[in-house]
């Protein structure tokens, strides 16, 4: 196990062999990587463990240098394990380069069906027993989709959990994919309208960009095709604390000054690509809607729910907005089937994504009855204006989990854990310990 140092920390690499299918423990195995971080000088102390579950799906653990951000507060109390969830980071990869080795699209889809929260939690349980022993318990910190995984953990294996902390990630226990997106579009609209109220000049800039994209074929630096609908997805930036300002700075450089044919600037296209490309996180797109699949909520396939539900919200239609001289609404983190034709990182996975969208009878991820009897201390930050996770769903789940305490705040957006300098984590730690 390689060990090295960053400023103020000691880091140890861990690799674990886990079953691809936990129902077949003697079958194929894949590798899961995790990075252990402890405060310098405390590496030999018997500290409690904190497992960090990253947002996503398909997000690798953060690459932090030294006692950065929330990690600084965590290292006061814990030995931290940063997990690269299966398929991400330094774990056995699952992307356009590796998945063809699994066989045809049907074989790839069967493989990826084992990459949801249920499998992630079972990986964690094997890792816990290896690091802490059969009776050892650790604390959980779940950010966004990591919070979804925490609720799965409390449903599947609460005996392994000492305490649980969730930031911006309490899912609807029985919310289907269509229900999730019917709630999401109005939230996104409110964020976009708030952005336009803050930066009124961006209304015309966005209209000019989408008119340009309707009239010309535009390619991003990496070869992806930038359509008007693809450009709308930059609205996903509005879910973070500084996102509105970052979007404004992106838009203010949209066109080259002094060029008569309104040419889009390379710097603008590079910034758009940085926000839209799934090259570094393909599983986010491929698996996104499957995280809402549960047979007891709906035995049907998720079926490109964001695309289907969008028809109920005609105000997001680009051509209608242009024709009616209205502001063009941007979209959020919705995944649409046409993205697999415009993004080169996703194009080889289009058939796989289609098969997963048609897949029905997904296993349940949450056990409401077990959660109602929960005995693990849980504290959750619910961001009142969260664009990515529905507040009503989060509060309903909070009421359904015995002993779960919530901190409802609009001081932070969805990225509060990352940008608060440890304040969000400190508040949750004190809450779970009944110190506040």
For residue 419, report the phi and psi dihedrals to the nearest 5 degrees: -100, -5
pLDDT at 215: 95
* Percentage of residues of the chain with pLDDT beyond 90: 97
Active site residues: 144, 386, 414
Cα separation, 281 vs 267, in Å, equals 22
pLDDT at 258: 81
Q: What angle do CA 413, 414, 420 make, to 5 degrees?
A: 65
- Token reading at 77: 């109390």
Up-side HSE of residue 433: CA atoms within 13 Å toward CB?
A: 9
Banded model confidence at residue 436, pLDDT cuts 50, 70, 90: confident
**Segment 360-418, tens digit of pLDDT:** 999 999 999 999 999 999 999 999 999 999 999 999 999 999 999 999 999 999 999 99
Weakest-pLDDT range from 260-269, 291-300, 376-385: 260-269
pLDDT at 1: 76
Distances (CA, A) of 401 to 85, 171, 312, 375: 25, 12, 32, 9
Tell me the domain boundaries of the chain: 3-173+366-432, 177-358
Cα separation, 197 vs 202, in Å, equals 9
| CATH code of domain 3-173+366-432 | 3.40.50.1820
Q: What is the Rg, in whole angstroms, of the alpha carbon atoms belonging to the chain?
A: 22
Instruction: Assess contact for 222 and 348: CB atoms under 8 A.
Output: no
Q: pLDDT at residue 60 above 80? A: yes
């Amino acid at each position: 196990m390689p060990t090295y140092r960053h400023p103020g920390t000691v880091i140890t690499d861990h690799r674990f062999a886990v079953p691809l299918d936990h129902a077949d423990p003697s079958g194929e195995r894949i590798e899961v990587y995790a990075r252990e971080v402890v405060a310098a000088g405390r590496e030999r102390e018997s500290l409690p463990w904190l497992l960090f579950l990253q947002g996503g799906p398909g997000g690798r653990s953060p690459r932090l240098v030294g006692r950065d951000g929330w990690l600084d507060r965590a290292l006061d109390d814990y030995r931290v394990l940063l997990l690269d969830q299966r398929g991400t980071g330094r774990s056995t990869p699952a992307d356009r380069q590796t998945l063809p080795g699994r066989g045809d699209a049907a074989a790839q889809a069967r493989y990826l069906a084992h990459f949801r929260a249920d499998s992630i939690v079972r990986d964690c349980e094997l890792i816990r027993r290896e690091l802490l022993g059969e009776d050892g318990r650790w604390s959980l910190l779940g950010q966004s989709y990591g919070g979804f995984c925490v609720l799965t953990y409390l449903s599947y294996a609460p005996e392994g959990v000492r305490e649980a902390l969730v930031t911006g990630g309490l899912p609807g226990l029985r919310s289907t994919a269509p229900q999730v997106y019917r709630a999401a579009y109005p939230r996104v609209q409110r964020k976009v309208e708030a952005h336009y109220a803050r930066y009124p000049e961006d209304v015309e800039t966005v209209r000019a960009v989408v008119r340009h994209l309707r009239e010309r074929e535009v390619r991003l630096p990496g070869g992806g095709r930038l359509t008007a609908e693809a450009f709308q997805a930059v609205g996903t930036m509005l879910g973070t604390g500084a996102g509105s300002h970052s979007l404004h700075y992106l838009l203010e450089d949209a066109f080259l000054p002094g060029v008569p044919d309104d040419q889009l600037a390379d710097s603008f296209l590079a910034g758009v690509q940085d926000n839209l490309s799934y090259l570094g996180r393909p599983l986010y797109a491929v698996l996104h809607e499957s995280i809402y699949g549960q047979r007891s909520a709906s035995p049907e396939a998720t079926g490109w729910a964001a695309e289907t539900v969008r028809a109920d919200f005609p105000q997001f239609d680009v051509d209608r907005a242009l024709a009616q001289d209205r502001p063009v609404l941007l979209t959020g983190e919705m995944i649409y089937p046409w993205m697999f034709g415009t993004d080169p990182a996703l194009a080889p996975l289009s058939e796989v994504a289609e098969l997963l969208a048609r897949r029905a009878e997904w296993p349940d991820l949450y056990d409401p009855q077990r959660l109602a009897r929960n005995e693990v201390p849980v504290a959750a930050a619910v961001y009142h204006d969260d664009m990515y996770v529905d507040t009503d769903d989060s509060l309903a789940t909070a009421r359904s989990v015995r002993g779960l305490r919530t901190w409802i705040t609009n001081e932070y957006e969805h990225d509060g854990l990352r940008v608060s300098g440890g304040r969000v984590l400190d508040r949750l730690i004190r809450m779970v310990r009944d110190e506040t």
